[in-house]
């Protein structure tokens, strides 16, 4: 153990320092609406959920059972998944640099991790917990095990990859995009290609399927809700080819990668394509990201592609960048130094954003005001008869989740399914019959996706009247958010025409 520490001391100290800082940082930053939603998942454990598999819920469940229902407990496993991803990237670089002397392998493997940590997404998805956070780890582990198999031809590494794929699918459905990459890598090499004459790759794939089986069972028992939402539902939203979505995608990738890593990846891709036959490791690393990147780029011609969807595809390319661009002249180039400074400034700025109260980011600020507003809404609820007589609902699954978290008193909060609008997982949880005839507090904000639907809500209650409005500003001048609540009298689940 001592020898391992001495040999890899620099990476151990680097990762220990980064992890320590992140654990301190998550103690001071707010919970994001999406995290509150997944925390709500964790309160109702299940095989899967409406819009995502269960790994994010299980991660939050573990963190909160160690540290309680605190923001630190919710985010804790995000830091852990991130550190594991960094370790796997280091080991992957160490593997593909095997023809170098030990000191050089260690130095360039450390540089791989540093390059990864110069991307913005490496930091964002280390301090928030969403399905992408564990996905990045399992995706990187599939890469490592696939390359290990190709170098050793030991079937056990295929089984490791199969397990990682299964857990990757439990994290996010896009993990399936690594499968054609693994197949292409294996068949492209005459030695590894022979494995398809044995039962090992099929058994490894069966192992993945068995791990993923609970999600399939959940979908069968819930009318294929999750698969329908993520696949056929999204397919129905495709529009005619237009340029705005791909331009948005390019801008978002420039943001999540930061300029220097993005340019480095572009240059690496060009070098790999130019030397396709001469660098098997670099070619394989490119293949690990090729299918997901090309796939979502094509989709962006007809639909919005979110900035985080391509992220796993960059992991192999980051390792390939160090493999292809390890000459010292490259490291001394001015553009690389400038790009590094720009990346560091972006990362520091991104971290500062979460620490500044009510920072004016327009639609980008999703979190400010909700803690304070929830406390005031709780007072209004008590004055109107308490949670036994008055329930709370919002016009967004995110707002409902934030309210549920900040209320902290074990009462369920409902979303727009109260007035028969789509509400993702809240539709699966449903509306208890006990709400019939009760009064309610309806909450919404002036943010675009949280804006009120008073006309629709009024169809399900006898009367809807203002109960409170709370404005939040930056430094007392710049308006950031207005959160409003309305008192709704006598709930009718099927509308006011319901005579039951």
Residues 154 and 299 in one domain: yes
Q: Has residue 299 been placed in a domain?
A: yes
Encode pLDDT of 38-56 as tens digits.
999 999 999 999 999 999 9
HSE-CB for 269 with a 13 A CA cutoff: 18
Q: Give residue 234's pLDDT.
A: 64
Report if residue 498 sits inside a domain: no
| CA 423/CA 310 separation, integer angstroms | 26
Domain presence at residue 117 = yes
Residue 418 CB partners (closer than 8 Å, separation 6+): 393, 431, 435, 440, 457, 460, 491
Judgement on whether residues 368 and 395 belong to the same structural domain of the protein:
yes
Distances (CA, A) of 22 to 75, 88, 197, 337, 345: 10, 19, 47, 25, 17
Cα–Cα distance for residue pair 311/413, rounded to 1 Å: 33
Percent above pLDDT 90 for the chain: 70
Does residue 496 sit within a domain? no
My answer on whether 244 and 113 are in the same domain is yes
Longest Cα pair distance anywhere in the chain, in angstroms? 81
In 325-478, where does DSSP find H-type helix? 328-331, 334-353, 370-383, 397-407, 425-429, 454-458
Q: Judge whether 374 lies within some domain.
A: yes
Q: What is the pLDDT of residues 183-211, one digit of tens each?
A: 999 999 999 999 999 999 999 999 999 99
pLDDT of residue 329: 45
Residue 232 sits in the same domain as residue 304: yes
Residues 194 and 280 reside in one and the same domain: yes
Residue 136 has which token pair? 């990045």
| Same domain (yes/no): 199, 86 | yes
Residue at a domain's end among 310, 329, 353: 353
Question: Alpha carbon of 471 to those of 374, 376, 396, 446, 481: distances in Å?
Answer: 13, 12, 19, 10, 6
For residue 336 the two structure tokens come to 């690389």
The pLDDT of 206-225, averaged and rounded, is: 96
| Domain total of the chain | 2
Strand partners, 414: 393
Q: Which of 283, 318, 353 is the last residue of a domain?
A: 353
Chain mean pLDDT for the chain: 91
Residues 370 and 349 in one domain: no
Residue 37 has pLDDT above 50, yes or no: yes
- Which of 353, 387, 410 is where one domain is finished? 353
At 358-379, the pLDDT tens digits run: 898 888 888 999 999 999 999 9
DSSP 269-303: HHHHHHTTTT-HHHHHHHHHHHHHHHHHHHHTTTS
Q: What are phi and psi of 479, to 5 degrees?
A: -70, 130
pLDDT at site 268: 85
Contact 137, 84 (CB under 8 A): yes
Q: What is the pLDDT of residue 312?
A: 95
Q: Looking at residues 88-110, what average pLDDT do you find?
A: 89
Range of the domain at 448: 363-491
- C-alpha dihedral sign at 387, 391, 396, 397: positive
- Which are the contacts of 235, defined by CB distance < 8 A and separation ≥ 6? none
Domain annotation covers residue 77: yes
Q: Is 369 strand, coil or helix?
A: coil
* Residue 1: pLDDT band with limits 50, 70, 90: low
**How many Cβ atoms are within 10 Å of 336's Cβ, its own excluded?**
15
Helix (H, G, I), strand (E, B) or coil at 5: helix
304/391 same-domain check: no
Q: Is residue 192 part of a domain?
A: yes
Q: Residues 372, 449: one domain? A: yes
Lowest mean pLDDT among 120-129, 222-231, 378-387, 429-438: 222-231
312-344 pLDDT, tens digit each: 999 999 999 888 776 544 556 677 778 788 888
Indicate whether 134 and 183 sit together in one domain: yes
**Residue from 482, 234, 230 nearest 358 by CA:** 482
Query: 109-113: long-range contacts at Cβ-Cβ below 8 A with a sequence spacing of 24 or more?
Result: 109/11, 109/322, 110/10, 110/11, 110/14, 111/322, 112/318, 112/319, 112/322, 113/11, 113/14, 113/15, 113/86, 113/89
Do 253 and 307 lie in one domain? The reply is yes
Q: Is there a domain that residue 499 lies in?
A: no
Is 304 exposed, middle or buried (CB count within 10 Å of its CB: 0-12, 13-18, 19+)? middle
Specify the pLDDT at position 257: 86
Do 131 and 211 have their domain in common?
yes
DSSP 332: T
3-state SS, 30-64, equals: CCCHHHHHHHHHHHCCCCCCCCCCCHHHHHHHHHH
pLDDT value at residue 125: 95
């Amino acid at each position: 153990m001592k020898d391992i520490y001495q040999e890899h001391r620099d990476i151990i100290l680097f990762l220990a320092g980064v992890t320590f800082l992140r654990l301190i940082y998550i103690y001071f930053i707010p919970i994001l609406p999406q995290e509150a939603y997944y925390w709500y998942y964790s309160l109702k454990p299940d095989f899967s959920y409406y819009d995502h598999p269960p790994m994010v819920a299980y991660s939050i469940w573990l963190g909160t059972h160690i540290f309680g229902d605190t923001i630190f407990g919710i985010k804790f496993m995000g830091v852990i998944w991130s550190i594991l991803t960094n370790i796997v990237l280091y080991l992957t670089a160490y593997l593909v640099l095997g023809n170098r002397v030990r000191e050089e392998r260690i130095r360039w493997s450390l540089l791989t991790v540093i390059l990864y940590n110069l991307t913005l997404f490496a930091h964002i998805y280390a301090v928030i917990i969403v399905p992408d956070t564990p996905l990045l780890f399992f995706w990187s582990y599939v890469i490592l095990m696939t390359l290990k198999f190709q170098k050793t031809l030991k079937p056990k590494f295929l089984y490791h990859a199969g397990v990682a794929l299964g857990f990757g699918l439990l994290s996010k459905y896009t993990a399936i995009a690594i499968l054609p990459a693994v197949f292409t890598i294996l068949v492209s090499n005459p030695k590894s290609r022979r494995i398809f004459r044995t039962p090992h790759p099929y058994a490894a794939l069966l192992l993945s399927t068995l791990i993923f089986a609970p999600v399939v069972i959940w979908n069968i028992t819930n009318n294929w809700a999750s698969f329908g939402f993520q696949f056929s539902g999204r397919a129905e939203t495709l529009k005619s080819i237009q340029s705005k979505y791909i331009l948005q995608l390019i801008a978002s990738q420039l943001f999540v990668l930061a300029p220097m890593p993005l340019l480095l990846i572009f240059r690496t891709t060009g070098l790999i394509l130019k030397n396709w036959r001469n660098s098997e490791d670099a070619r394989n690393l490119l293949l690990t990201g090729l299918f997901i990147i090309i796939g979502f780029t094509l989709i962006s011609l007809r639909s919005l592609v979110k900035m985080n969807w391509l992220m796993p595809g960059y992991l192999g390319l980051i390792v390939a960048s160090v493999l292809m661009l390890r000459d010292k002249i490259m490291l001394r180039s001015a553009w690389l130094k400038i790009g590094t400074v720009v990346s560091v400034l972006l990362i520091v700025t991104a971290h500062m954003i979460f620490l500044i109260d009510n920072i004016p980011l327009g639609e980008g600020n999703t979190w400010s005001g909700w803690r304070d507003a929830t406390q005031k809404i709780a007072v209004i609820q008590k004055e109107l008869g308490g949670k036994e007589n008055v329930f709370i609902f919002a016009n967004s699954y995110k707002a409902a989740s934030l309210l549920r978290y900040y209320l902290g008193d074990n009462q369920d909060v409902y979303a727009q399914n109260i007035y028969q609008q789509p509400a993702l997982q809240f539709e699966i949880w449903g509306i208890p019959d006990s709400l019939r005839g009760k009064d309610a507090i309806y909450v919404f904000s002036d943010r675009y996706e949280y804006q009120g639907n008073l006309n629709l809500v009024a169809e399900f209650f006898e009367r809807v009247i203002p109960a409170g409005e709370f404005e939040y500003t930056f430094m007392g001048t710049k308006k950031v958010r207005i959160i409003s609540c309305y008192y709704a009298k006598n709930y009718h689940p099927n509308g006011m025409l319901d005579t039951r």
